[in-house]
Structures are given as structure tokens and as C-alpha cells.
Amino acid sequence: MASSSESFVDGLPVAWYNLAADLPEPPPPMLEPSRDEPLEPSRLAAFMPAALAEQEFSRQRWVPIPPEVLEAYRSWRPTALVRATRLEKHLRTPARIYFKDESRSPPGSHKLNTAIPQAYYASQQGFRRLVTESGAGQWGCSLAMACSMFALECKVFMVNVSAQQRPYRRTLMRLWGGEVVVSPSLQTALGRRLLARDQNYRGSIGVAIAESIETALGETGAGYACGSIYNYVMLHQTVIGLETAQQLAALGETPDVVIGSIGAGSNFAGLAFPFIGQRLAGKPTRFLAAEPRACPSLTRGRYRYDHTDAAGLTPRVKMHTLGHTYVPPDIYACGLRYHGCAPLVSHLVNLGVVEPIAISEPAALRAGWLLAATEGVIAAPESAYAIRAAINEAVRCRRQHTSECIVFCLSGHGLCDMEAYDAYLSKRPKISAEKASLIELLRAGKLRLA
């Protein structure tokens, strides 16, 4: 990766970093939905803005961020890089733990980083409306807000089970002018088919993606927007890692371990890719991708060609996948319930550059609670998987007496996720046989990872 210090203005990079330019071997190509032939870029441009279809196949190392997008980023970026000293102290670790705080965007997660350019390119091309899917609602909120900034309509197919768990995210989407449709819905052929088979079908992201694409393809002036998976999403998210590299450098730090949670790979990629570019140039950093044990695409899935949606409408990509018809169990981290993982991240796992780890839901929620108790920060249940991986590394440093620099992505806040923490708090005594109150534990210096 080229030195990028001169390409920053007021703490914000002026170009996204495209890791594809620096890979030792390119990732396998995207294939036609039902033929073993490489996909023509024009086929993507049929249902999404042409600029994004072009970025998907780009090998250009630095992609300039349009001035309109930079101006929108400025309303909340650069985000803070926070040293979690109180968490370090409670873990009695010699490690230095930092988190990049992506939770402070107006909708509350990193997803606004890609929603803004997607809405911008769509408006430039004269689209009237963007259609998308949303699990936990983080992506739907981000896209609805970005669409409102560029005067576009926004329609969100929200996974049924998540819509019930996250009623406030639905309200946020509507406040920003979005139309929310519970998926599976009667508005699409796929939804009607699934509901005819099972009236109480609870949905999955794969189904919601298929419903969005079916809708976008069937309407003139409508485009499809996707919150993760695609190379161009990973590209937009690199603002996270580029800022982090600059912020760490200002502190005289370089990371030993870089960590992100894995839904379909975008917050991990955003933080890690700029550092992976440096590692490919010789720096010995480790990269940990933390996924839920309940939806283990990287640790248990197969690396093969598969569709990104549940209906098989989308082009096939080579990725670690549990199969596109897989319906993951309900977990609180709805944003991590996806059957596959981004082709670029999957490729890096296959090359041995990225280490995947699977974490159980109670272990993740306990880590979220520990961060709240020590740093005061309420993390999204999705982010809690990365927190747990960071804590595990910090505990390893304590055992090995090594002082390493650990950086994780706090991908979002959990202020709309109280159900998850309620469940955690009411089950906690059973999980850990721990009867003392938080304050007693803090006083006694006994706040530990059970």
C-alpha cells in the first residue's frame, strides 16, 4: 500500500483503498447465475448504478471519493479511535486495546459509509428509488438516511423476525422517509410462494435480498442497493481502516492484531483491508474474523460458488457458504445471520491471511456487558463478537506476558437492542453462577470473563 498521509484532508482520506490491486492472486471471478461463465459487468449495471458495477471489477488501487460523498462523511467522520484503558485494567492485561468507534454515525453503525456513496451514484444516474433488504435494520436505517440526503425514495424489505425484535429501527427508517415491508412479503413472487408454503415463515437475509432484487428488476427507475458482500461495499468501508492507520500512527502505534465481527464481511474488511495491504508489503499483523457459532460460514462453511440471495437470482460468487437456502437460527445479532461471506474476505481466509474464529452468543453478550461496565459503551450485539475476540487476545497477552496492540471495530451501538441485553442480564446467574452485583464486582476488582 502506498503511503497515504498526503491524501488526507482534516483527518478524512480523499480516496478509498482497493485491496484487489495488491493481492498476490486475484479472487475467482463472479459467474452468471445459472451458467459457468464470468459475469459481464453490464449485467450488474442492469439493477444497480453503473459506477458501482465498475467499482466491483476495478483493480485501481486508490478510488477517489466524490466531493459530495466527502462532504456527507464530514457530518460524523473521522470517527474516534478509543483506547479502552478501563477494560485493559479490569482484564489485568499488558495489551493495549483500541476500538474504532463506528457506532456514532446518525443511524448507529458503519453501514452509512457505503449507503452514502450508493445513494449518491444512484441520484447522479437519475434513479428515482433504491430497494434493499435489512436484517437488524442497521442497513435499512443507513440507506433510508442516505436516500433522504439525495432525495431518493427508499424501500426496505426487513426480515420478519428482526422487524419484531427491533421495532424502533423500523420507526427510524420511516422517520428518514423509508418504506418498510416485512419479508417474506406478498409483494413478490418469491414471498408469496414461501408464505403459501408456511404462513409463519420467519424469513432470512437471503430471502429479503431476493425480494429486493425481484422488485428492483421489475420497476423502472428503481435500483438495488446492498449493504455488504460486494467488492464495492468493502471498498467504501476502507475509510474505517485508513483513518485508523493514521490515528494509530499519530500515537506511534502499529497494530499486532486487527479484529472485526463477520456478518457478510464489510466492517471487518473496512478496518482490516488497509492493514492487509501493509502486511502484504511485509508487516506481520494478524487478522481475526469473529463470526457467530450459530451461523459459521467461515469456520464451517464450504469455499465454493454460491448465490448471494436465497432464490438463486443473483450472480454466483466464490465464498465460504453454508448454502444459499440455509436459514440460520434466531440470534440477537441479526446482522450476522447470513449464509456466506464476502468473496474478498473468503479469498483471504483461503490464502491464510485472515484467521476465522467462531464465538457463542453468551460469550459475545458477556463481552458486550464487560465493555458497557468498564467503558460505558453500549455495543451492538453484532459488535460484541469482535469485542469477545479482542478480550480473548488480551487475556492471551496476560498469560504470555506480551504487550501487543489490539484493534477492533465497534461496528455499531446497541441502543435499539435492549432485548438482547435484557435476556443476557436475566440469564447471567445461570451462565456464570455469578451472584454479585456489577458494583460489588467492580469494587472487588473481580470483573472477569466467565
Ligand X SMILES: *Cc1c(COP(=O)(O)O)cnc(C)c1O
Residues that bind ligand X (CB under 6 A): 109, 111, 136, 138-139, 228, 261-268, 335-336, 380, 382-383, 411-412
Q: Where are the beta strands (DSSP E) in 256-404?
A: 257-261, 286-292, 302-307, 316-321, 354-359
- Give the single-character DSSP code of 335: G
Shortest distance, CB of residue 432 to ligand X, whole angstroms?
25
Which CB sits closer to ligand X, 227 or 397? 227
Minimum separation from the CB atom of position 195 to ligand X (A): 25
Report CA torsion sign: 185, 186, 192, 195.
Answer: positive
Q: CB of 208: closest distance to ligand X in angstroms?
A: 13
43/56 Cα distance (integer angstroms): 12
CB of 228 to ligand X, least distance (A): 3
Nearer to ligand X, 346 or 383 (CB): 383
Q: Which is nearer to ligand X, 93 or 231 (CB)?
A: 231
Please identify which residue in the block is written with the cell numbers 441479526.
334
Question: Cβ closer to ligand X: 159 or 336?
Answer: 336
* Choice between 262 and 317, CB closer to ligand X: 262
Q: Which string of DSSP letters, residue by residue, matches 230-284?
A: SHHHHHHHTHHHHHHHHHHHHTT---SEEEEE-SSSHHHHHHHHHHHHHHHTT--
For ligand X, the closer CB: 188 or 261? 261
Q: How far is CA 344 from CA 34, 189, 348, 351, 446, in A?
A: 22, 31, 6, 11, 41
Q: Which residue, 283, 260, 282, is CA-closest to 354?
A: 260
Cell readout for 78 is: 473521522
